[in-house]
Amino acid sequence: MTTVQDILTFVETLAPLELKMEWDNAGLSCGSRTAPVTKILVALDPFEHVCQEAVNIGADLVVTHHPLIFRPVTALVDDTAAVRGLITLCRHHISAIGAHTNLDCAAGGVNDVLAETLELKNIHVIEGQTLLRAGEWDGTLQEFLAHVKEKLGCPGLRYVDGGKKIHKVAVGGGSCSDGLMDVIAAGCDAFVTADVKYNGFWDAKELGLSMIDAGHFYTENPVCAVVAEKIRAAFPEIQVVLSQKHADCMKFY
């Protein structure tokens, strides 16, 4: 019998806990370590609709990148979506595992998968970082923008033109724009990340860097299929399902 602890132990070999940031809450968020597992739902976020999807497909465990409980929960009252999701899982005896910043930093994790999805060459960790990756790509900015949009499947990009042809690219899935100076120091011509603020674009432009915001969901979601496949390969007796309900809530008008 495969248990929640068996899956947790395996996930933490993919994304060791010593790699997580101090403020992060990775690991088992709810459920029982000894509970048997026959079906797992994998998704980027443990939002309420994902928790309901787990109920609908008969999953025993949800494995996500973002943790189910990030900030302290002071009351289990169903007046917020986050708590309703937690209540839904507990009511149906479904456990939840999150691999967050540890999966961002891990070899083969969020940022390696993002770099591979963008077909960068000679992918490596940026010096002085555990998080950001860099790799090679050759072409104009316009060619690279079209490439990013196609490979990530995002409906649009926000970007600033650094005025250079693209030879070296940095990537950081999710909110990684605060790594700008490390990216500059690494000699990159472009930086693909998300959640970039107004001043961040101006800083990049003035430093001659093309900053591309491809969206939090689209820069991180590719890792979900990889995690699902790795769990599937390690536990062939378990049915591992990639969420069919979860998508980016942000739209372009």
Per-residue model confidence (pLDDT) at position 76: 86
**Structure tokens, 53:** 């999807």
- The residue-averaged pLDDT of 56-80 equals 92
Contact assessment for residue 222 and residue 203, using Cβ atoms and an 8 Å cutoff: no
Residue 227, Cβ neighbours under 10 Å: how many? 27
Hey, what amino acid is at 78? D
Task: Name residue, tokens 């809450």.
Answer: 25
Q: Which tens digit of pLDDT belongs to each residue from 76-120?
A: 899 888 899 999 999 999 999 999 999 999 999 999 999 999 999
Nearest by Cα to 131 from 70, 179, 169? 179
Quote the CA–CA distance of 145 and 55 in Å, as a whole number.
Answer: 39
With the C-alpha atoms ordered 56, 227, 11, 213, is the resulting torsion angle positive or negative? negative
Confidence of residue 73 (pLDDT cuts 50, 70, 90): confident
- How large is the average pLDDT for residues 2-10? 98
Three-state secondary-structure class, residue 75: coil
- Convert the pLDDT of each residue in 40-61 to its tens digit: 999 999 999 999 999 999 999 9
Phi and psi at 14, nearest 5°, equal -75, -40
pLDDT tens per residue across span 116-135: 999 999 999 999 989 999 99
Local confidence band at 72 (pLDDT 50, 70, 90 cut-offs): confident
Alpha carbon distance 205, 57 (integer Å):
47
Is the pTM value of this prediction over 0.75? Answer: yes
- Percent pLDDT > 70 in the chain is 100
- DSSP one-letter code for 93: T
Q: Which residue has the tokens 């993919």?
A: 14
Instruction: Supply the pLDDT for residue 70.
Output: 85
Tokens of 92: 């149906």
